[in-house]
């Protein structure tokens, strides 16, 4: 017993120093040199200011921008407090939040998409993501929003769709995961393209 | 569905292609006395010298168990103390305060038992120092301890007329330095290249496009994610775990992290075959596990693709195709979609991992029942590193016992007679944890204090409680995460994790000790063959009938009622 205790104390100290400090410190040094951009959070800088990360959704409410998926974090899109919504498959609260999100989309996109009904809204547009900061929307949701963004920016629809295609991340190695459209990167590209717009 | 099925097929192929050679390698790691080069060898000898052990001196099963328990108990105190004192320690750029006592207790037990149940959100609760020196160290060490115990039990099976099983410090050191560390570093390099942060710089502040402020949680993420995947730990840096893009940024990282969940457990099946010189038997054990894995993902994937009642009734488009994966996207990420999230949920609960890349609480009734049943059968479908295979040994002993009863001969396993003592250890090992899980679930739903943790109404609320105590008793750590932290649920969970870890572990070591002492009997015409498909079918049947039947009544109160609800 005492012998085990003595061994455990020494082993515990050695292993904590090695696996808790030495290895992480050395690996952090390597990562900062070899993958500086990624190791620091894939931050995006515009004219010297950090405007976000390509790996985190942020709030877009203006009509000239593509909008993100709903978020369950507090406040929404909190990249320092990720959260699930945790609403079960028969939850009345889930039904309410889906209904509200769908109505808001119909109101926002309807004028630009004649004949739009709830059956045209892709499911990712009305559901919270796992992280609350899912940087992507589905290509289907991007297509739905394109008409509005093109109209508000007085751009040809084809030009907006071309940008959407450019910012669609395909599957890794062609078959792993699902395609998604990075909203922040797309919106920044739109701002660069137009320079102005309401 | 075709695309999803292709990914699941690719996953299976890569898993075996990597797991098989890893298994043969690990068999050498635990066997050869002079494993490692001259430099590595002298490091190893240095470790034994300062720890004060003679690597040649082996321990019997009782002594081995005692060392594991003392070692773990000591670390429990350390992890608790670091959480309570983190405000006064180093590497705390975001100024996190002391973790609350009951949460710290639960978390401490959680990490030393390889569970990684998380009643806290990492990025806004734990300092970098706590994440690294308390939590991530345990992700290495508790995994190493589980692997060490498995190596000892396997030695017990392969030896004859022996009283000892090995030296814990040797097995621990070799698990850590020759298996877990190199694999983790390899995976961490890929992860950081894809976007996992690895910095001590504290959170970043962004001035968003529409003029708001956004805090972006960062830290030493990549290495912790690598070991939490490989060591069947599951405790993420961020609250939403591997759903967060900073833990799991791309389809590639998701694939590799999911492979990492089952890689070592798959390897250990082949390691077992090599160590006991029964490769065909190991392949049959593999086949049993693999079939159960396929059944799980084969149920969860279509169930999630079908969608939840709420989404189906809402009228929104949940059909796959036309630029979306469709299905039940609640609490799931676009870049993973349905197939990858269902595959991950199956793998993480087949193993005792518990990392999630989507919210299980929002799964459909059937989709959520799959992880629940996977855990309930004791996480023996590959299972946790070490604990999965020694858990399966209990079922194997029961299976050969049942076969022996049917043919009317003394049951044998790998040349060892299975007698009353072995059956007792196996029965305790197989039945204790499911009983514990059901009992604690019952306590939690008949007490006011317990009910305070339930988040969703109706049958789903019961599922949350059942999932919570099944997960903690089996040292998984995944959750129907709406289930809330109270002092009561934190303490009850700690009890579940402690008993669920050490009782089966001691039973496994006792089984190993009992088998080590036996002589080998020659194979005769009456011996039930354990290297053919009949054995694999029997083993699957025993797993399903033993623990599967125990959970069925509870399933009818939770997921089944919910599945039938409109």
pLDDT in tens, A147-189: 999 999 999 999 999 999 999 998 888 889 999 999 999 999 9
Best probe of the A interface among B317, B466, B467, B558, by most A CBs < 10 A, is: B317
What is the per-residue pLDDT for B54? 93
Single out the residue of A153, A194, A192 nearest to residue A47, CA to CA: A192
CB-based contact (8 Å) between A66 and chain B? no
Give me the residues paired with residue A49 across strands: A46
Cα separation, B539 vs B395, in Å, equals: 7
Q: pLDDT at position B31, please? A: 87
Q: How far does CA B353 lie from the centroid of its chain?
A: 3
pLDDT in tens, A17-66: 999 999 999 999 999 999 999 999 999 999 999 999 999 999 999 999 99
What are the chain A neighbours of B4 within 8 Å (beta carbons)? none
Contact across the interface for A56 and B214, Cβ inside 8 Å: yes
Q: Which residues of chain B have pLDDT under 50?
A: none
> In A, residues 146-165, which contact B (CB 8 Å cutoff)?
none
Tell me what pLDDT residue A197 has.
43
**A80-108 residues labelled b (16+ CB within 10 A) or e (exposed):** bbbbbbbbbbbbeebbebbbebbeebbeb
Query: What is the spatial distance between Cα A82 and Cα B356, in angstroms, rounded to a whole number?
Result: 13
Query: Hey, what are B36's tokens?
Result: 């490692």
What distance in Å separates residue B68's CA from the closest CA in chain A?
9
**Distance spanning both ends of chain A, measured CA to CA:** 75
The DSSP secondary-structure symbol of B46 reads H
- The answer to whether A59 contacts B210, with C-beta atoms less than 8 Å apart, is yes
Mean pLDDT within A107-111? 98
Q: What is the pLDDT of residue A196?
A: 45
Is A123 in contact with B456 (Cβ distance < 8 A)? no
A33 near B CB under 8 A:
no
Task: Tell me what pLDDT residue A195 has.
Answer: 59
Write the residue in B70, B195, B334 that is nearest to A134 by C-beta: B334
Q: Do B334 and A178 touch (CB under 8 A)?
A: yes
Q: Determine the Cα–Cα distance for residues B238 and B242; give it in Å rounded to an integer.
A: 8
Indicate the residue of A52, A123, A180 with minimum beta-carbon distance to B326. Answer: A123
Nearest CA in chain A to B565: A90
Q: What is the pTM of this model?
A: 0.96
For residue B59, the cross-strand partners are B166
DSSP summary character for residue B466:
H
Least CB–CB distance from B6: residue in A127, A128, A175: A175
Burial class for B409, CB neighbours closer than 10 Å (0-12, 13-18, 19+): middle
**Rounded to whole angstroms, how far apart are CA atoms B226 and A5?**
30
Among the listed residues B405, B383, B347, the one whose alpha carbon sits nearest the alpha carbon of residue B547:
B383
Backbone angles phi, psi at A174, to 5 degrees: 85, -15
Residues in A touching B214 (Cβ below 8 Å):
52, 56, 58, 77-79
């Amino acid at each position: 017993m005492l012998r085990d205790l003595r061994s455990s104390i020494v082993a515990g100290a050695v292993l904590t120093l090695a696996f808790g400090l030495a290895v992480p410190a050395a690996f952090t040094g390597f990562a900062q040199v070899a993958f500086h951009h990624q190791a620091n959070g894939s931050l995006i800088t515009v004219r010297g200011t950090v405007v976000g990360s390509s790996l985190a959704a942020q709030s877009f409410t203006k009509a000239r921008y593509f909008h993100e998926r709903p978020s369950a974090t507090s406040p929404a899109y909190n990249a320092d407090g990720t959260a699930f919504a945790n609403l079960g498959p028969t939850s009345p609260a889930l039904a309410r939040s889906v209904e509200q999100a769908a109505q808001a989309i119909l109101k926002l996109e309807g004028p630009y998409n004649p004949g739009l009904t709830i059956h045209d809204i892709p499911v990712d547009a009305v559901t919270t993501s796992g992280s609350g900061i899912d940087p992507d929307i589905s290509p289907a949701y991007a297509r739905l929003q394109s008409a509005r963004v093109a109209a508000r920016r007085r751009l040809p629809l084809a030009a907006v769709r071309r940008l959407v295609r450019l910012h669609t991340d395909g599957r890794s190695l062609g078959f792993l995961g699902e395609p998604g459209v990075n909203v922040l990167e797309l919106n920044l590209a739109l701002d660069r393209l137009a320079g102005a717009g309401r | 569905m075709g695309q999803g099925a292709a990914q699941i097929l690719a996953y299976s192929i890569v898993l075996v292609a990597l797991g098989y050679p890893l298994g043969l390698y690990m068999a050498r790691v635990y066997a050869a006395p002079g494993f490692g080069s001259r430099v590595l060898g002298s490091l190893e000898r240095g470790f034994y010298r300062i720890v004060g052990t003679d690597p040649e001196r082996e321990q019997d099963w009782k002594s081995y168990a005692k060392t594991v328990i003392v070692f773990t108990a000591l670390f429990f105190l350390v992890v608790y103390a670091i959480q309570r004192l983190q405000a006064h320690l180093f590497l705390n750029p975001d100024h996190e305060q002391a973790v609350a006592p009951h949460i710290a207790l639960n978390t401490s037990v959680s990490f030393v038992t390889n569970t990684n149940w998380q009643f806290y959100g990492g990025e806004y609760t734990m300092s970098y120092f706590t994440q690294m020196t308390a939590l991530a160290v345990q992700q290495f060490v508790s995994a190493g301890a589980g692997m060490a115990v498995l190596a000892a039990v396997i030695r017990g099976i392969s030896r004859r007329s022996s009283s000892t099983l090995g030296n814990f410090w040797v097995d621990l050191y070799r698990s850590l330095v020759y298996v877990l560390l190199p694999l983790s570093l390899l995976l961490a390099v890929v992860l950081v290249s894809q976007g996992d942060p690895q910095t001590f710089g504290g959170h970043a502040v962004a001035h968003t496009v529409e003029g708001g402020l956004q805090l972006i949680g960062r830290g030493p993420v990549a290495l912790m994610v690598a070991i939490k995947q490989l060591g069947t730990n599951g405790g993420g840096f961020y609250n939403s775990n591997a759903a967060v893009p900073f833990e799991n940024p791309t389809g590639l990282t998701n694939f590799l992290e999911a492979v990492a969940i089952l890689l070592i457990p798959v390897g250990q099946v082949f390691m077992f075959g090599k160590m006991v010189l029964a490769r065909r038997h190991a392949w049959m054990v593999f086949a049993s596990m693999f079939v159960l894995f396929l059944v799980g993902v084969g149920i969860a994937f279509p169930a999630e693709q079908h969608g939840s009642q709420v989404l189906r009734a809402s009228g929104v488009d949940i059909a796959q195709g036309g630029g979306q994966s469709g299905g039940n996207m609640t609490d799931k990420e676009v870049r993973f979609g349905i197939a990858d999230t269902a595959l991950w949920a199956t793998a993480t609960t087949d193993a005792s991992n518990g990392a999630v890349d989507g919210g299980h609480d929002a799964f459909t009734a059937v989709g959520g029942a799959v992880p629940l049943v996977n855990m309930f059968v004791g996480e023996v479908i590959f299972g946790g590193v070490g604990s999965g295979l020694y858990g399966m040994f209990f079922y194997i002993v029961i299976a050969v016992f049942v076969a022996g009863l049917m043919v009317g001969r003394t049951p044998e396993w790998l040349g060892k007679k299975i007698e009353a003592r072995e059956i007792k250890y196996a029965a305790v090992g197989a039945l204790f944890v499911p009983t514990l899980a059901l009992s604690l679930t019952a306590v939690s739903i008949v007490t006011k204090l317990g009910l305070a943790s339930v988040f969703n109404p109706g049958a789903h609320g019961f599922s949350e409680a059942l999932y919570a105590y099944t997960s903690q008793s089996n040292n998984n750590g995944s959750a129907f995460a709406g289930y809330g932290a109270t002092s009561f649920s934190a303490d009850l969970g700690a009890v579940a994790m402690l008993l669920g870890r050490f009782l089966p572990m001691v039973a496994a070591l006792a089984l190993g000790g009992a088998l080590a002492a036996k002589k080998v009997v020659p194979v005769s015409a009456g011996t039930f063959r354990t290297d053919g498909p009949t054995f694999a079918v029997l083993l699957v049947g025993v797993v399903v009938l033993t623990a599967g039947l125990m959970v069925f009544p509870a399933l009818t109160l939770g997921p089944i009622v919910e599945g039938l609800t409109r």
